[in-house]
Amino acid sequence: MHSYEELKKDASIRTYIEAADASLGALGYTEHSFAHVCRVAEEAARILEFLGYDEKTLELARIAGYLHDIGNLVNRHDHSQSGALLAFSLLSERGFAPAEIAPIVSAIGNHDEGSGSPVSPMAAALILADKSDVRRSRVRDLASTEKDIHDRVNFSVTDSNLSLDKESAEVRLSLRIDTTLSSVLEYFEIFTERMLLCRKAATVLGLRFRLFVNGQALI
């Protein structure tokens, strides 16, 4: 099995991730390149490590996070399913065992709020890691914040932190939003489905999902 660090150096995979992000850029979406996928990879592994999962599971979670948005190369629509199929092919070509490929593909295929469900702990960790990556550095064009609600909301988030608490068995997404740029209501307008999926994901992991915005508990 190739390690996560080896896959990060794989020129072919890097090309696909870059091309997938370029396609989203052409459609006006926020950044989905290496900053995003590497952050998701590390966060997914950190969540599972907190829960006591073994190192091999953490490594597979990192790989799932790294590859989770590669389906945008095909089309934004149903990108989780096409990404799962691409990941299956790429990992098979690189000698991964079926027992390693299966949980990765399942997690990738279920990470999108449009059709996904936290069908496993790895899928749940991937969902939480992905949906918590809200930050202004993902906005490509500052001029777009005036007309595009997604860019405006992302740009308004000055700080984002996903924390885990053993005593309360909670996973907490804490956001600092500049309300002169975007209202809290606008955040919920575009991210309600994501937050509901995060709540389901946390439940699968035996945790309670909490959302704090500017210090106030909203979920």
Domains (range + CATH), the chain: 4-217 (1.10.3210.10)
pTM, whole model, 2 decimals?
0.96
Q: Which DSSP helix (H) or strand (E) runs through 163?
A: strand 157-165
Series of mean pLDDT values for 10-residue runs along the chain (219 residues): 94 98 93 97 98 98 98 97 98 98 98 95 98 94 86 94 96 96 92 95 98 94
Which residues fall within 8 angstroms of residue 138, CB to CB, at 6 or more apart? 30, 31, 35, 36, 154
* Of residues 7, 137, 9, 119, the one with CA closest to residue 60: 7
pLDDT at 142: 86
Side chain identity at 76, as an amino acid letter?
R
Contact assessment for residue 200 and residue 118, using Cβ atoms and an 8 Å cutoff: yes
**Phi/psi of residue 116, nearest 5 degrees:** -90, 160
pLDDT at 148: 87
